[in-house]
Amino acid sequence: MRGTACWPGDVWGDGMAEQVGIIGGGIVGIALARELTAAGAEVTVLEKESRLAQHQTGHNSGVVHAGLYYAPGSMKATLCAEGRGLLREFCADRSLPYRAVGKLVVAVDAAELPALAEIERRSRANAVPDLTRIDDPGRLREVEPHVAGVAAVHSPQTAVVDYAAITEALAQDVRAAGGRVLLHTEVTGIRIERGRVRVITRTGAHLFDRVVAAAGLQSDLIARLVGADPAPRILPFRGEYWMLKPSRTGLVRGMIYPVPDPRFPFLGVHFTRGVYDDVHVGPNALPALAREGYRWRDVSLADTWGSLRWPGAPALARRHWRMGVDEISGSLVKALYFRKARRFIPELAMGDLARKSGAGVRAQAWGRAGDLLDDFAVDQVGPVTVLRNAPSPAATSALAIARYLRAHHLGSPAAR
Ligand SMILES: Cc1cc2nc3c(=O)[nH]c(=O)nc-3n(C[C@H](O)[C@H](O)[C@H](O)COP(=O)(O)OP(=O)(O)OC[C@H]3O[C@@H](n4cnc5c(N)ncnc54)[C@H](O)[C@@H]3O)c2cc1C
């Protein structure tokens, strides 16, 4: 018997393959399901929404990061490099769009040069392919004809993809290999019983040998269901995008990024030419008022109160209030958002930002001291593995995260 739906009290069946439940149908959960079905496990994915990739995976910048920013040796650095290669191969195999449009990280003035030098140092340590440093504004404009700046690093292999389409294609492999993907299946409880795991959903219960949660914005709530430490908690950060008017998309060839503020784990408002040739501008980074708060009016008192009461809240507010005020003003007043974007493209006019084109909410974990976790983080509670912090570049890294979880947390899943 596989990890089939059964009500509490049903008899656990005996099968040859290990039965693994995966909570979350974003790119990480589905990539792991594919990895484990290929290894012979019997896998069931439990996803609360009516479709896959409805949260972070379907609301992001679509960038395949080349590894410029991450601390050398960190999980982000190693899994991003491995994941990028696997993703490129997967897209080629499945004829999915993968366009290496290239990225320029631009220092607009001399004050940003030390931070740019650190990005260059990290990029070289992370073996970012074909990276070059540009110190001549004329040469900058050979890469991006409309950009203004004093220096940049150029990563020609940074690419764009459609992560929702990739997730669907990965899910096809899961189903073809006998795995199950259950939609409309929200997990509400988890109990460890004699070494096995009973997962309770709104539509029934399931028994598994092991469970892995890749639940993004809800990952800390899932961790609590299995009795893990409440820290780190998820602090949802909304990122809003504008589109460039179709007649003005010629202002951007590939990607134009700012030099990021090293005190903050986000990359700053940037220009990205997507796989369908649209150019979006964003995302900013605002505290969201709900875990799945895509608009200002999406408010969850429980989520907001939970964040305000978190022990690290005063420290975080003290450290980042200035940036918070800046980001909130930019969200409410288009002219302020526009001013940030125009630093990089002086020709940009306010009317070129056509309309807000949606938003994503980042699942960023923070600790009790108000620290924003930098690296990916995984908790293990008996037979349950919870991926607790998987923000950017986890979409780029998903296929490598799947391999990592299999090797380090799931052992050999086919052998029960
Ligand atoms: C604005 C923004 C821009 C980004 N840009 C990039 C980028 O350019 N490149 C990049 O590599 N990364 C980027 N990221 C990060 C990337 O999108 C995420 O790291 C990645 O999608 C994480 O995938 P996931 O599967 O862990 O989470 P998600 O895609 O959030 O999936 C989690 C799933 O779990 C489900 N779930 C939650 N709770 C339950 C429950 N109780 N029961 C059942 N199901 C549940 C949810 O419905 C959801 O489908 C960006 C993120 C954002 C928000």
Token output for 210: 């092991």
Question: What pLDDT is recorded for position 363?
Answer: 96
- Dist CA 345 CA 237 (whole Å): 26
Instruction: Please indicate whether residue 324 or residue 3 has the higher confidence score (pLDDT).
Output: 324
CA distances to 19, 152, 206 from 2, in Å: 6, 53, 10
Q: For residue 304, how many other CB atoms are within 10 A of its CB?
A: 17
pTM for this prediction? 0.94
pLDDT in tens, 86-127: 999 999 999 999 999 999 999 999 999 999 999 999 999 999
Question: What pLDDT is recorded for position 14?
Answer: 45
Helix (H) or strand (E) holding 63: strand 63-64
Q: What is the mean pLDDT of residues 161-182?
A: 98
Q: What is the mean pLDDT of residues 59-83?
A: 97
SS3 134: strand
Q: How confident is the model at residue 236 (pLDDT cuts 50, 70, 90)?
A: very high
Helix (H) or strand (E) holding 378: strand 377-381
Q: For residue 70, how many other CB atoms are within 10 A of its CB?
A: 23
Please give the domain boundaries of the chain with CATH numbers for all domains: 1-99+160-232+373-416 (3.50.50.60)
**How high does pLDDT run on average in the chain?**
92
Residues with a CB atom less than 6 Å from ligand 1: 23-29, 46-49, 54-57, 59-63, 65, 186-187, 214-218, 239, 283, 360-362, 390-396
Instruction: Please indicate whether residue 2 or residue 21 has the higher confidence score (pLDDT).
Output: 21
| Backbone φ, ψ for residue 153 (5° rounding) | -110, 140
Q: How far is the CA of 229 from the centre of ligand 1 (A)?
A: 22
Q: How far is the CA of 14 from the centre of ligand 1 (A)?
A: 34
Q: How confident is the model at residue 6 (pLDDT cuts 50, 70, 90)?
A: very low
Question: What pLDDT is recorded for position 12?
Answer: 30
